[in-house]
Homo-oligomer: A and B are copies of this chain.
Amino acid sequence: MIFIEACFKRQTKYTPTWMMRQAGRYLPEYMEVRRQAGNFLNLCKNPELACEVTLQPIDILDVDAAILFSDILVTPLEMGMDLKFEAGEGPVFTNPLKNEKDLLSLSEDSAKNLTYVYDAIKLIRQRLDKSKALIGFCGSPWTLSTYMIEGRGTKTFAKVKKEVYSNPSFMHKLLQLLSDSIKEYLENQIKAGVNAVMIFDSWASALEEDIFLEFSWSYMNEVASYLKSKYPSIPVILFPKGVSGYLDKIDGNFDVFGVDWSTPMELAKQKLGHKYVLQGNLEPCRLYNKDSIEEGVRKIVDVMGKEGGHIFNLGHGILPDIPVEHAKYFVQLVKELTARS
């Protein structure tokens, strides 16, 4: 698997590519399955349909890795929180956590309950070409906690950050509970057959440096170390989004650092390229225009070269109104421009 080779910095015949949210709404084939499922959560919970949408971008785009179709919020869902996806609103927890007492209502068996995910993984791994990797994933403890406390989308993160600054012991208990859950969850994903795992810290960007290190990074790092010590052959990818000011502090036992589009690839290479393989980071909005795709891909190739240490990706998820042709063009262009001579 070229993707796994690249995660370990080995030479590959071109730089492997995949796209965050590649199994998503920009694909008419995905929309059809989504309609069959009735709603988003049904799709996550149906192994047969989740398998189908996971494999679609492999067939359509010829990317080098599949990423499990699921959602980071299945963890709090299976901890017993009531989750709804409201139209135009995104995910909503109807009873967000308010204090330490509320932690008692959370189940410690979420990883055990997530059988539909493991079933999907087994199906996908059976049907996926042997040359393509399957990536499992989860949300970081911090990012999950933001949804569990805010209850719904937020611009300010004021509720959860009020707890961080006023009630840190509540936050640390919640974050430890989440870390323990996702250790077991990712471990179970590995046992079910994923070839690599990725932890998404989408809301790392909500925290100032010291607070990020204490309330987010330390927990992600703990999960990564646990997995690397037990499963050294499984690459661990960490993606804390929006931490370009804190790259000097990024250190730990993992393999690949996901670079978001707001972090210049040159800066990431300078600060982290000697320690980690870098994954990223084409601006997703460049996919609106072919010239912009080419300009962006060339800039990244100029920085990262072709000699390994890089996995191509977008710097954030693909948007729903991107033409499929443009996504194909991106994947093909990367293969062409990074082919080893």
A130 at the interface (CB under 8 A from B): no
Instruction: Knowing A208-B283, A283-B208 are in contact, say whether A289-B166 is a contact too (CB < 8 A).
Output: yes
A205 at the interface (CB under 8 A from B): yes
A70: shortest Cβ distance to chain B, in Å? 21
- Is there contact, CB below 8 Å, between B209 and A321? no
Q: How far is the CA of A153 from the CA of B88 in the complex (A)?
A: 13
Which residues on the B side are within 8 Å of A156 (C-beta)?
319
A205: shortest Cβ distance to chain B, in Å? 7
Instruction: Knowing A158-B319, A283-B211 are in contact, say whether A262-B245 is a contact too (CB < 8 A).
Output: yes
Which residues on the B side are within 8 Å of A209 (C-beta)?
264
Counting every copy of the chain, the complex holds: 2
Question: Which residues of chain A (229-251) have a CB below 8 Å from chain B?
Answer: 242, 244-246
Chain A: interface residue total (CB-CB under 8 A): 34
Instruction: Knowing A208-B261, A209-B264 are in contact, say whether A165-B242 is a contact too (CB < 8 A).
Output: no
Q: Chain A 259-275 against B: per-residue CB contact (8 Å), 1 yes, 0 no?
A: 00111100100000000
A286 at the interface (CB under 8 A from B): yes
Which residue on B lies nearest to A263, using beta carbons? B245
Which residues on the B side are within 8 Å of A263 (C-beta)?
245
Q: Chain A 128-164 against B: per-residue CB contact (8 Å), 1 yes, 0 no?
A: 0000000000000000000000000101111001101
Which residues on the B side are within 8 Å of A329 (C-beta)?
none
A41 at the interface (CB under 8 A from B): no
Between A245, A246, A267, the greatest number of chain B beta carbons within 10 A of the residue's beta carbon is seen for A245
- Is there contact, CB below 8 Å, between B164 and A285? yes
A85 at the interface (CB under 8 A from B): no
